[in-house]
Chain A
Amino acid sequence: MASTAAVPFWRSAGMTYITYSNICANLVRNCLKEPYKSEAINREKVHFSVSKWTDGKPEKPTIRSDTPE
């Protein structure tokens, strides 16, 4: 699209393309039939192992799980 064209409504609301496309993808995933739905949602899960460092030594790591919306 040319730069003179009007920006999409989500762009003017301060959303980035990544945010927009991820919201779209999530909504599509939620409209799937089982078992594809849980499969698709599970695929998007992200797990972090986080450990803080004190006095140069790592503490016990904690697992943080982020699921999209």
Chain B
Amino acid sequence: MLRQLTSRILTKPTTPFFSAAATRRPFSTEVADTSTGDETFVEQWKKVIPNIDPPKTPSQYMKTRPPTPNVLPTKLTVNFVLPYASELSQKEVDMVIVPATTGQMGILPGHVPTIAELKPGLLSVHEGNDVKKYFISSGFAFIHPNSYADILAVEAVPLDRLDQAQVQKGLSEFTQKLSSASTDAEKAEAQIGVDVHSALNFALTG
């Protein structure tokens, strides 16, 4: 019941809370709206807890993705997300090149389903003649059989926001740290520093 109330408020943002509660409060005997989503789950729920409406499941909020088409699609649908922002959402592009740990990987429509770990490097999104370049720190790319690709990164920035001077400074600092590191943890940290800064340097100059 509560979830219906919230969903009603959400759908009608202009209605004040209390009037919405007073006027549109459903009776407990009212049939819950379960037109979409998990029918078997709702059925099971009703058997066990008949007096409480079943909770909404993620499938009721998420649009299901299209099945794998028989013909090869011409475009690749990309979702590129960061913890704080959604950079690309359902964007149809020609190709993306991701920095996988095994090397730069180009993804075209109809790519085989893969999960790739990403290393610090250049991500480029090709759309016609437009190429958008991002530097991503690390993350994962999921390639689905229906020509959908999900790219998740911890930090990603467009290339023009990077400072070349800072990169050079960081590179020399971590190269020096790597030679003076004594413990395994220090060495690894310095090695990460060198790797990230070399990748940054390569992305900016190469």
Contact = CB atoms under 8 A, between A and B. Distances in A.
B120 interface: yes
Contact of A31 (B139, B185, B200): B200
A34 to B, nearest CB: 8
A12 to B, nearest CB: 8
A43 B84 contact: yes
A36 B166 CA distance: 13
Contacts of A36: 157, 161
Interface stretch (A20-28, A46-54, A55-63): A20-28
Given A15-B188, A36-B157, A31 B166 contact: yes
Contacts of A15: 185, 188
Interface in B138-180: 138-139, 154-155, 157, 161-163, 166-167, 170
B187 A13 contact: yes
B101 interface: yes
Interface in B97-153: 101, 117, 120, 135, 137-139
B191 interface: yes
Contacts of B166: 30-32
Given A1-B101, A9-B191, A21 B157 contact: no
A33 B191 CA distance: 24
Given A31-B200, A32-B157, A33-B163, A24 B120 contact: yes
Given A10-B191, A12-B188, A24-B192, 11 more contacts: A1-B117, A13-B188, A14-B185, A20-B192, A23-B189, A23-B193, A27-B192, A28-B135, A28-B137, A28-B196, A31-B162
Interface of A: 1, 8-10, 12-15, 20-25, 27-33, 36-37, 40, 43
29 contacts: A1-B101, A9-B191, A10-B191, A10-B192, A12-B184, A12-B188, A13-B187, A20-B138, A21-B137, A22-B154, A24-B120, A24-B154, A24-B155, A24-B192, A25-B138, A25-B155, A27-B137, A27-B170, A27-B192, A28-B120, A28-B157, A28-B196, A28-B200, A30-B170, A32-B162, A32-B166, A33-B163, A40-B155, A43-B84
Interface of B: 84, 101, 117, 120, 135, 137-139, 154-155, 157, 161-163, 166-167, 170, 184-185, 187-189, 191-193, 196-197, 200
